[in-house]
Structure 1
Amino acid sequence: MAKIGIVGLGYVGSASAYSIATQGICSELYLYDIKQDLALAHARDLEDMSAIHFSYTKIFHVPNLENLASCDIIILAFRKESLKELPSRLVELQNNILELKDIVLTLKNANFKGKYIVATNPNDTITYYTQVLSQLPKNHVFGSGTNLDSSRLKKFLAKDLNINSKDIFACMIGEHGDSQFAALSNASVLGQNLLDFYKQKLGKDLDIQELEKAVISEGYFIYERKGRTEFGIGTSCANLAKAILEDRKSLHPVSVVFDDIAFSMPAIIGKDGVGGKIKCNHRKIK
């Protein structure tokens, strides 16, 4: 029986839990938050949903992090505090790093040997330190990275081309932040080169810089108007967990750990976590 644990039941954690439960991705879903009543309330609310949706995922709230040690996957979605304005990456790091240390070392001491999917920001840095602190193999720890940003990229391209986004292969890589960029030299639409297809259909070249700007600003657009992002990132985390548990060996641009850094690049996700990385022909990452 596959088990998934979620640490942090704010907007991202609760949206991840909802997506996991509605898709029936795991047999058992364990919810933990420092605010125990919040975890309990989400568990009860999701149980209500399950009775309507006929989900076979059993949902539990747990009072201690140690209760997650037997999970196959733990999604880190905690956030130190809720801010009205979107914080800088430095502020996010200062807010979250101490809590990360407490969480990961507690789970390490409880002998957690599963996979980590990191959603907490700044994503690349938190992903790196999760691997360092946990001492798990590097392929067992990865961040959501630019997986959602890549979905936004395909969303904008699909609107321009008036096609289904599932027919587009393209991704954002690099930092999960303002310096990420579109890797389009290998991008394709229905097996055809994306840039050629775009020009043939619309009669003009794709403005790559404007496209990148639109993708990067989309999160800010949503945050400034509703104070959070949740559905996109929650579904992204759920689908990454699904790729692991079903050994899909599907390609996702996620934040992966190298020697002393983590950043997003296309990676094959399956039962072993990151099963391989795909090299792209792209502009130099500085």
Structure 2
Amino acid sequence: MKITIIGTGQVGSTIAYAVVLQGLCNHLVLAGRNLTKAQGDVLDLQHTLSFCERPMTIESSAIEDVKNSDILVITASAKGQGKMASRMELGVANVEIFKKLIPLLVRNNPQALLVIISNPVDVLTYLATQLAGLPSSRIMGVGTLVDSARFRVLLSIEERIHPDDLRTYILGEHGPNQFPVFSNAFAGSERIADNPAHRRIFHEVTEAGFDVYNLKGYTNFAIATAACEVLKTIAYDDHRTMPLSTYFKEWQGIEDNCFSIPVVVGRAGIIRHLHPNLNQIEKNALGKSAKLIKDNINNLINAENNKSV
């Protein structure tokens, strides 16, 4: 399997390191605008292989020379300026990057699955689906997978239960318009209550990414680990369930939108959409979130279209 990472900033480099440690492919390519940085990462990663169980070809490439990948992991992004209050701040610049990047990548890698990391991930996953001309099942954003993981970790501290034994999702936008699904949240078949303490934890999760970003200037470890969970599921055809950002024509009565919903993932990409029974609080949150997310999608993509006229 050939995995190519587009963008070799903090996130791309950390994903590459995790891919090598986990042995998720036999051919790894690092591609970015800064080819010197990519070459440096390649050498550094090659030096780790003697400590890894699986041999791997690791090389760098210019983006236009990336071809015949099985999976494209897209982390390319404009650089944030100072402290960040919203992922939408990267929107206009990253829409422009994707309009140039996606057609080129799909043309040279027609069989690839696309895993979108760049923010705002829901807008960019929607745009990538429009630009690529591929089935939406082959394009997915990591989305609220990382938010759900943060949620489980903080809940595990509160409940004193291992996070992997908690089953709870955050759905919607990877951003402020997300919502928890307490009606389907369980630990050992016992329901995780929708109470003030757990709501406080959810609100902490909504801000957690910004807390990390504003403390050290970027986030990389959690998002890289979440990305590798998706890559592993694809590589091993595991048919795992996870919340990922995906374009859909209709889900739970919401039409023509793109945000994180529960899906089943395997070698073919997103195999099916799951449809949990939501309570009225969650249905209301879904409707409100869906409208705000679609407004963001329309405003950013249309803003860039108007800019280029």
- Report the Cα distance in structure 2 between the residues aligned to 1:65 and 1:149, rounded to whole angstroms: 33
Counterpart of 1:116 in structure 2 is 114
Counterpart of 1:10 in structure 2 is 9
SS in 2 for 1:207: helix
| AA at the equivalent of 2:264 | I
1:125/1:261 contact within 8 Å kept: no
In the alignment, is residue 146 of structure 1 matched against residue 136 of structure 2?
A: no
Counterpart of 1:261 in structure 2 is 257
Counterpart of 2:97 in structure 1 is 99
Counterpart of 1:218 in structure 2 is 208
- Report the Cα distance in structure 1 between the residues aligned to 2:93 and 2:213, rounded to whole angstroms: 19
| AA at the equivalent of 2:89 | V
- Report the Cα distance in structure 2 between the residues aligned to 1:56 and 1:261, rounded to whole angstroms: 41
- Report the Cα distance in structure 1 between the residues aligned to 2:18 and 2:208, rounded to whole angstroms: 21
Of 203, 222, 228, which residue of structure 2 is paired with 1:238? 228
Counterpart of 2:187 in structure 1 is 189
State how many pairs are aligned: 276
Of 263, 266, 272, which residue of structure 1 is paired with 2:268? 272
| AA at the equivalent of 2:2 | K
SS in 1 for 2:140: strand
SS in 2 for 1:104: helix
Counterpart of 1:200 in structure 2 is none
| AA at the equivalent of 1:135 | G
Question: 1:190: how far off?
Answer: 1.4
Of 169, 172, 185, which residue of structure 2 is paired with 1:171? 169
SS in 1 for 2:48: helix
Counterpart of 1:76 in structure 2 is 74
- Report the Cα distance in structure 2 between the residues aligned to 1:224 and 1:79, rounded to whole angstroms: 17
The TM-score normalised by the length of structure 1 is 0.92
Same amino acid, percent of matched pairs: 28
| AA at the equivalent of 2:245 | S
- Report the Cα distance in structure 2 between the residues aligned to 1:264 and 1:64, rounded to whole angstroms: 28
**Structure 1 stretch displaced more, 274-283 or 167-176:** 274-283
Question: 1:55: how far off?
Answer: 4.0
SS in 2 for 1:258: strand
1:1-27 CA-partner distances (Å, limit 9, x unpaired): x11010001111111111111000111
**Structure 1 stretch displaced more, 47-56 or 269-278:** 47-56
Of 204, 207, 218, which residue of structure 2 is paired with 1:228? 218
**Structure 1 stretch displaced more, 82-91 or 11-20:** 82-91
Structure 2: which 5+ residue stretches go unaligned?
250-255, 289-309
Structure 1: which 5+ residue stretches go unaligned?
197-204
**Structure 1 stretch displaced more, 74-83 or 263-272:** 74-83
Counterpart of 1:161 in structure 2 is 159
